[in-house]
């Protein structure tokens, strides 16, 4: 539409008015006069809503204005006019009953229909009979129908099939948007959109593609969305899983097995025991089993729609609980440094054996050895700290039992390394008893002892000495002065007993030995 040509089509415009217009346009075209414009608020409107054709910069010298439907100013298209002088309105042939004309030039459309879409002309007559025109247009959009999802394959099979989902109906100027599980579409090679996104194709369906799917439609003025749509995807069965997972069962209990697989439609289940059909249900129950119920248990699952079947085999062993084991040992009292052999006897097979010491799992030291199946425990050499309760525990996968405890008593070897020193020990006691005795007296006594005692048992003495050297008492050579040193350390201890030891641990250790030796006497 060209605004300048509009008056030429208007039958009511006189030639004089036209000439005047031309004159005024050429002579009075003031740059300060802002141009009249019309705005549709809103430019896109949903059917049934209102739209206001808003006039901006209406000139003050307007005498009357006319609203026309369409791009041409013809009488038959007049909707209404407004006369400023009388402040009155008048409707025209194109008036629908839903329009209102305002003194400021604006036109309100109420309850618009799609037929209202189009161009509207405002024509103004000035006080000097000049004309001015402006045009505007708006679009009425139909309310979107509620969309509806249809599919070309209502029972797709996992893996094989592709499925197309169509959003119906097809409407113009509508954008289509898909949502899966409430999420907008993510980048996925298996998804394809076509027909302006109205069709969603799943190229190779998976069981997880059930949805729900929702199609949303949108135009400038409204949105609408379908009900959720879910796919019934046929799949499975998967390899079944038998529970519980253990393969060993206690005899004289009830065997209750359950089989599960994922399948759509749900699978049919059957149980076979050693190849014979036992049950046609998901659960298998055998009361009060015994070892004869050991064997292979098969769960078979079948999907009647895919025609596929799968099975899982479980080899079950029914075991008797183990009987009480017992420990055999030649004696329960041993001398220190002896070898001890303990044997755990059980009349069960397929068992494992472990050893307990004072109720705790036995810590195997480098002095201990276990036979290949743990049935024999050897302690060599045995020490006093090995005294205590020994038990063996036998177990199979369904039970375990502990033997009655055997109490081992490890006693010190009295025949070793005590004879000579015991003389010294006695001397120590004597020294301790007569605490006020002077060192000289002690030395005198000691020297006397040395003269007589050295001859008594040289062999035993050296044996003791080598044991003492293990306690870091000093050099372990066999020089004769050695004897003095050992004896002296004993002496020294007794003299200094109330004080804390100044040198490191050796002295107290030695005194320990000496004390126990004294006790034995
Ligand atoms: C004309 O004016 C009357 C009175 O003010 C009003 O009721 C009516 O709606 C107006 N008509 C139009 C088309 O604006
Ligand atoms: C004209 O009048 C109408 C109704 O009173 C009002 O809604 C509109 O905003 C007015 N237009 C201008 C440009 O002020
Ligand atoms: C709007 O117009 C439709 C017909 O076009 C009519 O059925 C409806 O009642 C009208 N609504 C109002 C609020 O005038
Ligand atoms: C729209 O216009 C067409 C033809 O011009 C007419 O048949 C139809 O009834 C009109 N619709 C409305 C809602 O006015
Ligand atoms: C969806 O569309 C189909 C085909 O157009 C129709 O048969 C079906 O009734 C529609 N469903 C709904 C809920 O509108
Ligand atoms: C869709 O939009 C185009 C251009 O935007 C327009 O020509 C056409 O009439 C519109 N169709 C409908 C049904 O609104
Ligand atoms: C189709 O959807 C994609 C996103 O999923 C979007 O990027 C694209 O613009 C849409 N196309 C149309 C025609 O709506
Ligand atoms: C899904 O399809 C199967 C046939 O493949 C049918 O047996 C089953 O009833 C369907 N499930 C639903 C929820 O429609
Ligand atoms: C079950 O036992 C059979 C024969 O004894 C064997 O071939 C099969 O591998 C076993 N299966 C399982 C799962 O242990
Ligand atoms: C066990 O050993 C102790 C000390 O060596 C000994 O006195 C006892 O006779 C032994 N008993 C048996 C049954 O051998
Ligand atoms: C195993 O020990 C149990 C109980 O001590 C006994 O009843 C059974 O006869 C024994 N079996 C064998 C094979 O020794
Ligand atoms: C032997 O005992 C040790 C633990 O002391 C254990 O780790 C091992 O499995 C046992 N062996 C057998 C055959 O029972």
For residues 22 and 131, state if they share a domain. Answer: yes
Q: What is the count of structural domains for the chain?
A: 4
Interval between CA 173 and ligand 5 midpoint (Å): 21
Ligand 5, atom 1: closest residue by C-alpha:
148
More confident residue, 312 or 8: 312
Q: Is 156 exposed, middle or buried (0-12, 13-18, 19+ CB in 10 A)?
A: buried
**CB atoms inside a 10 Å sphere around CB 345:** 14
Instruction: List ligand 10's pocket residues with C-beta within 6 A.
Output: 331, 333
For residues 89 and 123, state if they share a domain. Answer: yes
For residues 153 and 221, state if they share a domain. Answer: yes
DSSP string of 443-456, one letter each residue:
HHHHHHHHHHHTTT
Q: Residue 189 has what pLDDT?
A: 77
More confident residue, 444 or 169: 169
Contact assessment for residue 327 and residue 343, using Cβ atoms and an 8 Å cutoff: yes
- Residue 495 covered by a domain: no
More confident residue, 76 or 445: 76
For residues 17 and 93, state if they share a domain. Answer: yes
More confident residue, 233 or 474: 233
For residues 38 and 130, state if they share a domain. Answer: yes
* pLDDT score of 439 more than 60: no
Determine what percent of the chain is predicted with pLDDT higher than 90: 56
Tell me the pTM: 0.59
Interval between CA 325 and ligand 11 midpoint (Å): 10
Q: Is 28 helix (H, G, I), strand (E, B) or coil?
A: coil
For residues 297 and 385, state if they share a domain. Answer: no
Instruction: List ligand 3's pocket residues with C-beta within 6 A.
Output: 48, 111, 113
Contact assessment for residue 58 and residue 36, using Cβ atoms and an 8 Å cutoff: yes
Rounded to whole angstroms, the Cα distance separating 344 from 391 reads 9
More confident residue, 177 or 33: 177
Rounded to whole angstroms, the Cα distance separating 91 from 93 reads 7
- Residue 152 covered by a domain: yes
Interval between CA 361 and ligand 1 midpoint (Å): 105
- Residue 160 covered by a domain: yes
- Mean pLDDT over all residues of the chain? 79
Contact assessment for residue 346 and residue 354, using Cβ atoms and an 8 Å cutoff: no
Q: How large is the average pLDDT for residues 327-331?
A: 94
Pocket test residue of 173, 219, 220, 222 for ligand 6, highest count of atoms within 8 A of CB:
173
For residues 155 and 30, state if they share a domain. Answer: no
For residues 253 and 381, state if they share a domain. Answer: no
Contact assessment for residue 66 and residue 126, using Cβ atoms and an 8 Å cutoff: no
Q: Which ligand is nearest to the Cα of residue 311, counting in written order?
A: 9
CB of 111 within 6 A of ligand 4: the answer is no
First-to-final CA distance of the chain: 136
Question: What ligand 2 atom has the least distance to the C-alpha of 104?
Answer: 1
Ligand 7, atom 6: closest residue by C-alpha:
197
* pLDDT score of 479 more than 70: no
* pLDDT score of 406 more than 70: yes
Task: State which of 107, 141, 175 marks the end of a domain.
Answer: 141
For residue 198, the surrounding DSSP H or E stretch is: none
Ligand 7, atom 1: closest residue by C-alpha:
197
Poorest-pLDDT segment among 160-164, 299-303, 372-376:
160-164
- Residue 425 covered by a domain: no
Q: How large is the average pLDDT for residues 146-172?
A: 89
- Residue 272 covered by a domain: yes
Which span out of 171-175, 183-187, 210-214, 340-344 was modeled with the highest average pLDDT? 340-344
* pLDDT score of 113 more than 70: yes
Poorest-pLDDT segment among 156-165, 194-203, 253-262, 491-500:
491-500
Q: How large is the average pLDDT for residues 362-380?
A: 94
Q: Residue 416 has what pLDDT?
A: 59
Task: State which of 358, 387, 416 marks the end of a domain.
Answer: 416
CA distances in angstroms from 480 to 121, 198, 446, listed in the order given: 139, 111, 15
DSSP string of 202-261, one letter each residue:
ESS--GGGG--EEEEEE-SS-EEEPPPB----BB-PPPPEEES---EEETTS-EEEEEE-
CA distances in angstroms from 299 to 251, 259, 274, 341, listed in the order given: 22, 7, 11, 50
For residues 210 and 92, state if they share a domain. Answer: no
More confident residue, 448 or 476: 448
Domain containing residue 172: 148-225
Strands 44-46 and 131-141: parallel
For residues 302 and 282, state if they share a domain. Answer: yes
- Residue 499 covered by a domain: no
CB of 175 within 6 A of ligand 6: the answer is no
Write phi, then psi, for 223 (nearest 5 degrees): -130, 160
Q: How large is the average pLDDT for residues 383-403?
A: 94
Poorest-pLDDT segment among 317-321, 333-337, 509-513:
509-513
For residues 156 and 250, state if they share a domain. Answer: no
- Residue 348 covered by a domain: yes
Contact assessment for residue 104 and residue 122, using Cβ atoms and an 8 Å cutoff: no
Task: State which of 271, 286, 319 marks the end of a domain.
Answer: 319
Write phi, then psi, for 187 (nearest 5 degrees): -60, 120
- Residue 203 covered by a domain: yes
Question: What ligand 4 atom has the least distance to the C-alpha of 113?
Answer: 13
- The enclosing domain of 280 has a CATH number of 2.60.40.10
Q: Residue 447 has what pLDDT?
A: 53
Q: How large is the average pLDDT for residues 107-126?
A: 93
For residues 104 and 154, state if they share a domain. Answer: no
């Amino acid at each position: 539409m060209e605004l300048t040509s509009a008056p030429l089509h208007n039958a009511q415009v006189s030639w004089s008015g036209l000439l005047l217009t031309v004159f005024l346009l050429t002579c009075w075209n003031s740059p300060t006069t802002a141009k009249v414009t019309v705005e549709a608020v809103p430019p896109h409107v949903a059917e049934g809503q209102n739209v206001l054709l808003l006039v901006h910069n209406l000139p003050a010298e307007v005498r009357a204005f006319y609203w026309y439907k369409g791009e041409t100013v013809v009488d038959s298209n007049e909707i209404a006019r407004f006369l400023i002088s009388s402040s009155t309105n008048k409707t025209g042939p194109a008036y629908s009953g839903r329009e209102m004309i305002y003194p400021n030039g604006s036109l309100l459309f109420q309850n618009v229909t799609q037929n209202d879409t189009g161009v509207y002309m405002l024509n103004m007559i000035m006080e000097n009979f000049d004309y001015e025109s402006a045009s505007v247009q708006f679009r009425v959009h139909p309310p979107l129908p509620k969309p509806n999802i249809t599919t070309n394959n209502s029972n797709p099979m996992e893996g094989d099939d592709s499925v197309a989902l169509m959003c119906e109906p097809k409407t113009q100027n509508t954008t289509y948007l898909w949502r899966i599980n409430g999420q907008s579409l993510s980048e996925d090679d298996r998804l394809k959109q076509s027909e302006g996104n109205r069709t969603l194709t799943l190229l190779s369906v998976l069981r997880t593609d059930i949805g729900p799917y929702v199609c949303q439609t949108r135009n400038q003025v409204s949105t609408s969305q379908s009900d959720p749509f879910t796919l019934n995807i046929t799949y499975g069965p998967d390899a079944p899983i038998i529970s519980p997972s253990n393969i060993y069962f206690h005899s004289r209990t009830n065997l209750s097995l359950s089989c599960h697989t994922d399948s759509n439609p749900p699978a049919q289940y059957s149980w076979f025991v050693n190849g014979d059909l036992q049950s046609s249900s998901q659960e298998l129950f055998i009361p009060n089993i015994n070892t004869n119920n050991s064997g292979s248990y098969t769960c078979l699952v079948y999907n009647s729609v895919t025609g596929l079947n799968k099975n899982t085999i479980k080899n079950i062993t029914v075991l008797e609980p183990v009987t009480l084991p017992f420990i055999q040992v030649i004696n329960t009292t041993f001398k220190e440094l002896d070898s001890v052999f303990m044997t755990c006897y059980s009349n069960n097979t397929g068992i494992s054996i472990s050893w307990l010491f004072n109720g705790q799992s036995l810590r195997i030291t480098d002095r201990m050895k276990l036979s290949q199946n743990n049935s024999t425990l050897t302690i060599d050499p045995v020490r006093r700290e090995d005294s205590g309760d020994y038990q063996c525990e036998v177990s199979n996968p369904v039970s375990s039992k502990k033997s009655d405890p055997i109490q081992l008593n490890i006693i010190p070897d009295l025949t070793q390394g005590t004879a000579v020193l015991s003389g010294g020990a006695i001397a120590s006691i004597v020294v301790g008893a007569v605490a006020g005795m002077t060192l000289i007296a002690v030395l005198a006594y000691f020297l006397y002892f040395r003269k007589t005692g050295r001859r008594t048992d040289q062999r035993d003495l050296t044996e003791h000495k080598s044991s003492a050297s293990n306690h870091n008492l000093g050099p372990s050579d066999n020089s004769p002065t050695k004897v003095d040193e050992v004896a002296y350390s004993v002496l020294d201890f007794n003299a200094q007993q109330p004080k804390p030891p100044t040198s490191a641990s050796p002295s107290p250790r030695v005194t320990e030995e000496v004390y126990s030796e004294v006790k034995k006497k």
